[in-house]
Structures are given as structure tokens and as C-alpha cells.
Structure 1
């Protein structure tokens, strides 16, 4: 009886150790992307989602600048007509724009180099 209890305890400790190891080995960029609070759009002052979001809002954002690239995450949820994020910005090569769905669809993007994010607004379904 004591042998079975000991085996069960050892198995539980091993499983817990594996779970903690898996969490510790997770890439930090992926974890930082999910630091964006629910129902918000978040922007990082880098192109790798490193650290906490630099800017976040439940509404629109305008006139953001970064010399390190930008990462944009739509962490909104379904809300008919206002659950997709449209963004427009520019760099020295011209204007860049896009639309991000809400999770679990494609809800994030990155832009490298110096970038001016002119606007981020909520809107209806992204065009095909």
C-alpha cells in the first residue's frame, strides 16, 4: 500500500515538474503577445512583441511612432460591426495598411524599422 502511494506521489511530482519546465521554456515573444488585455488593441514599440504593450486602447489610436518597428495585436472579441482592427501607417518607402481579425483568426502583425502608425480604428469584417 505504501509503495503505491509513493509511486503516485513520485508520478505527480514528475508531472508537475514537466508542466513547470514547459512553461519556463515557452518563448517570451509569444507570451508577450498575449499580454494584450481582452477587448483591446495593443501596440508594441518593437517588431517582436517583446515586453508589455507600449500602447493599448479599447478605442482608436492615432499618431504613434517607433524607431524599432511595431507589433500590433487585436485582442477584441466578437462584436458585430466593430471587432476588426484597421491600421494605416507609413515609413520612408510609403504607406502600409492592414486589417486584423479577432482571435483565434489572424489577429497580429509586425512591421520592421522606423514606422509611423497614423491610425488604428475598429470596424467591420476585413475585406477579402
Structure 2
């Protein structure tokens, strides 16, 4: 049994006081954070940020859809592979596996086509 496992009433008074102070401090911090977030939301709303944020999200979604279509389309030339590399860079994907797998498949296909000709 660790010190923290002991019931609150069994803990020494200084420890209970410390836990109480921590809980009060946490409550105050959460209240301040909530007030801050509310104020930021009010300012954003007054500035019309809701609509702008929705427009931005729509444009990012469109970019991702185009990027996924680019990766799904087989590249038949080196220029096509370069386009896929650029699309992956511009998308800034945290996980670039889809782009790399698509490019690798294209390179293998092009290499096989060269080997048979």
C-alpha cells in the first residue's frame, strides 16, 4: 500500500491541507481557463471567425480529397511521380505512407515496363 492509497482521513493534516489547496488551485485554474476560452470565442464570433474557419476547413478538406485522388491515380511517367511527391509535400501529411506507397507502386510498375521493353 502506497502513501497515496491511504484514505484521506488517515493522512496527516498537512497532507490533507496540501491536497485541499491543490484542489482549490485546480478549480481556480479551470475557471480562469473557461473564462478565457469564452472570451476568445466571443472575440472570434464578433470578428466573423466562425465562417472563416468553416471556409478554411472546407478548403483543407478539398485539398485532401484532391491529394488522395492524385495518389490513387497511377503515374505513367516520371513527371507523374514528381506530381505525387509535390502533392504529398503540400498536404503536409503527418503520416505520408499513402503517398509513399503510391509512389513506390508507380516506380515498380514503370521499372517492370522498362524491363519488358
**TM-score, with structure 1 as normaliser:** 0.28
**TM-score, with structure 2 as normaliser:** 0.30
Of the two, which has the highest radius of gyration? 2
Name the structure, 1 or 2, with higher relative contact order (CA <8 Å, separation 6+). 1
